Amino acid sequence: MGEERYNVKLDSFEGPLDLLLHLIKQAEVDIYDIPVAQITEQYMAFIHRMQELELDIASEYLVMASTLLAIKSQMLLPMQDVWADEDLEEVEALPEEDPREALVAQLEVYREYKAAAAGLAERQSERARFFSKAPSKITPSSEHRNEPAMIEASLSEMLQAYQKLKWRLRVNRPRTTTVETQKWTIEDKMQTIRTRVIDSAQPLPFLQMYTKGEVHEQVISFMALLQLMKENAVVCNQRGNFAAIYIQAREETNHE
């Protein structure tokens, strides 16, 4: 079998998730049924190619490589090697956990993030054609004099906030849960977020918009928030990089 050539720019990916999406699309496979062995082999070949060219590899790429190898090992490990024979009957009664679940959730969020980024970039381009009047000289009160102004959070900052939230919920998640079949739609979550934001007299902290729940529900909620941002229904602000993010309705939405 000849050596497979990768005709891609080594610096054209924004991170390991971007690279994974490229490999999944190239392999023409379903994101919800990733052939881990195949994708891991292609991912590692890409990393080795970067090393051969003596390019610096960001640590996040190596972390993802370790994650893929761990998932691959879990999927190859027989159940009998993990549980004693007397425990198998009890284990079989539990819902089987797919080791790919967390990775698929990250890929799903990142894919929606990229789709929303295109819309927001277009919106930013449109806003660049407008000019604002010079700010009036207003003497700030002593209470807010040293408080930084609120700035609109970028999609990258929203994704970072979501990752922090996801890890916080995972740490607090009980070890045993009852699996219930529920269906959430983006439209339902959009309406829930819109109602909470409009009814609130103050901007809502991003972390308060989410409660403990299934990974799929958290993904749908975050996708709904990105869609509301894309539609200019809500705006997410923060007082500087890495600061807490607050969600509020845009003025035109409040007046509807």
Same domain, 112 and 63: no
Residue 89 has pLDDT above 60, yes or no: no
Domain that holds residue 239: 101-125+149-173+181-254
Q: Which secondary-structure segment (H or E) carries 134?
A: none
Whether 118 maps to a domain, the answer reads yes
- β-pair partners for 234: 249
Interval 71-97 mean pLDDT:
59
Q: pLDDT tens across 9-43, in order?
A: 555 677 888 889 889 888 888 888 888 899 999 99
Q: Model-level pTM?
A: 0.43
Would you state the pLDDT for residue 51?
A: 80
Same domain, 232 and 117: yes
pLDDT band at 91; cut points 50, 70, 90: very low
Whether 1 maps to a domain, the answer reads no
Whether 9 maps to a domain, the answer reads no
Instruction: Please give the Cα distance from 74 to 184 (Å, whole number).
Output: 29
Same domain, 185 and 247: yes
Same domain, 159 and 235: yes
pLDDT band at 146; cut points 50, 70, 90: low
How many domains, the chain? 2
Same domain, 205 and 185: yes
Same domain, 84 and 191: no
Task: For residue 244, give both structure tokens.
Answer: 């807490």
The whole-chain average pLDDT of the chain stands at 73
Would you state the pLDDT for residue 83?
A: 46
Whether 44 maps to a domain, the answer reads yes
Q: What number of CA atoms fall less than 13 Å from residue 112's CA on the CB side?
A: 21
Whether 63 maps to a domain, the answer reads yes
Residue 211's CB is within 10 A of a number of other CB atoms, namely 9
Cα–Cα distances (Å) from 241 to 14, 114, 139, 153, 154, in that order, read: 19, 21, 25, 9, 10
Same domain, 121 and 224: yes
Would you state the pLDDT for residue 93?
A: 46
Q: CATH no. for residue 224?
A: 1.10.10.580
- With pLDDT > 90 as the criterion, what percentage of the chain qualifies? 1
Whether 163 maps to a domain, the answer reads yes
Whether 58 maps to a domain, the answer reads yes
Whether 29 maps to a domain, the answer reads yes
pLDDT band at 181; cut points 50, 70, 90: very low
